[in-house]
Amino acid sequence: MTTAPALRGAREPVTDGPDEAAEQATFDALIAAEQRIEPRDWMPEAYRKTLIRQISQHAHSEIIGMQPEGNWITRAPSLKRKAILMAKVQDEAGHGLYLYSAAQTLGITRDEMTEQLIAGKAKYSSIFNYPTPTWADMGAIGWLVDGAAICNQVPLCRASYGPYGRAMVRICKEESFHQRQGFEILLALMQGTPAQRQMAQDAVNRWYWPSLMMFGPPDDESPNSAQSMEWKIKRFSNDELRQRFVGMLVPQAAVLGVTLPDPELRWDEDAQRWHMSEIDWTEFHEVLRGRGPMNAERLRNRRNAHEDGAWVREAAAEYARRQAARAEGKVA
Ligand SMILES: [Fe+2]
Ligand SMILES: [Fe+2]
C-alpha cells in the first residue's frame, strides 16, 4: 500500500523575522474573507495540529464505527436489510478513507495515524464503545448516531481547511441516507408486534443519551472550541448543535411513536431553547478514558484486523513497486 509523500519539512513554518508576520497576516485575511486554506498555504502550527487531531479522530471514529453495525450484517432479518446494512457499513469505511487522505495533506502519514489508533493513543468517538445487542440497535444507531453526526458535520462542510470541508460534503450526503435507513428500521419495528415495539423503544432508551454526548462537553467546559470557531473550523458551539439535534428529534419521535427517555424534555418558550435533564458527564468521561463497555474489544478487533491485513498491504506495495519498475522499463 502506498504511503503519503512526506510533506513534513517541506512546509515548516517560517519562525523568525518579518516573513512570519506577513504569512500570518495572509492567513488571517483568508480566514476573515471566508476563503479556504489549502495544503500549499502557510498556516500556523497550532491550526495544523488542531486539524490533524480533529480529522484523524474523525477518521478513526468512522473506521471503529463499522464494528457495532458490522456485528449485525450476518444476522440482518432479510436480504434487503442485509444489503442496506452492508452498503451503510461500507460507506463508513469510505468516510474513514476520505478523512485519512485529508489528514495526510497536513503532513502526517496513514501509518502514523493507524499506529496511534491501535496503540490506544488516539481518541475516537465514545459512542462506538456501546454494545449492539438487538436488531433495533441498527435502527437507533442510524436515527440517533448518524443523525447527530449530520448535525455536527453539515457545518463542517464550510470548514476553513479545504480538503476537510470537501470531504465532508460527500460524507454528509451519505449520512443522510444512513439516518433515513435507521429511521425506517425503527418505523417498521414500531408498526410490528408489541415485542418489536418494545425492542425499538429499548434501543432508543439506550442510545439517546450517548448520542447527545456526541456533541461534546457543555460550552463552558469545552476549552478548544473558541479557538476552533475563530479559525472557522467549527461554526456552532457544542450546546447550539445539541439543541438543534433535539429539535430535529422531537417531531420525528412523534412520527415513530417512540418516547425520548427524558421526562424533563420540553420547549422553553421564554428561553427559546429545549429544556432537558442534566447529561451524565461522568459516564462520558469514563467511556472517553477507555472504560466504556466495549472499548477494549473495539481496539482489539482493530488491531487484529490490522495484523491480519499485513499480507495484503505487503502484496499491494510489491505490486505497485513492480508496476513502477515496469513503467520505467526495468522489468520485462
Ligand atoms: Fe460516516
Ligand atoms: Fe454514517
Give pLDDT, residue 58: 94
pLDDT band at 211 (very low <50, low <70, confident <90, very high): very high
Ligand 1 geometric centre to CA of 17 (Å)? 43
Ligand 1 geometric centre to CA of 275 (Å)? 29
Ligand 2 geometric centre to CA of 95 (Å)? 8
Strands (DSSP E) found in 207-280: 266-268, 273-275
Ligand 1 geometric centre to CA of 97 (Å)? 10
Ligand 2 geometric centre to CA of 210 (Å)? 16
Distance CA(63)–CA(290), nearest Å, equals: 17
The dihedral sign for the CA sequence 320, 321, 322, 324: positive
Whether the CB-CB separation of 142 and 206 falls below 8 Å is answered with: no
- What are the cell numbers at 273? 431553547
Ligand 2 geometric centre to CA of 84 (Å)? 12
DSSP letter at 276 equals: -
Ligand 2 geometric centre to CA of 86 (Å)? 12
pLDDT band at 194 (very low <50, low <70, confident <90, very high): very high
pLDDT band at 18 (very low <50, low <70, confident <90, very high): low
Give pLDDT, residue 15: 53
Whether the CB-CB separation of 170 and 98 falls below 8 Å is answered with: yes
CB-based contacts of 234-239 (< 8 A; 24+ apart in sequence)? 234/155, 234/156, 234/159, 235/155, 235/156, 235/158, 235/159, 236/155, 239/215
Stretch 52-73: mean pLDDT, rounded? Answer: 95
pLDDT band at 224 (very low <50, low <70, confident <90, very high): confident
Ligand closest in space to the Cα of 88: 2
pLDDT band at 17 (very low <50, low <70, confident <90, very high): low
33-48 confidence digits (pLDDT tens): 989 999 999 999 999 9
- What's the pTM? 0.88
% of the chain exceeding 70 in pLDDT: 94
Give pLDDT, residue 230: 86
Distance CA(203)–CA(121), nearest Å, equals: 30
Q: Tell me which of 131 and 331 has the higher pLDDT.
A: 131
Distance CA(298)–CA(300), nearest Å, equals: 6
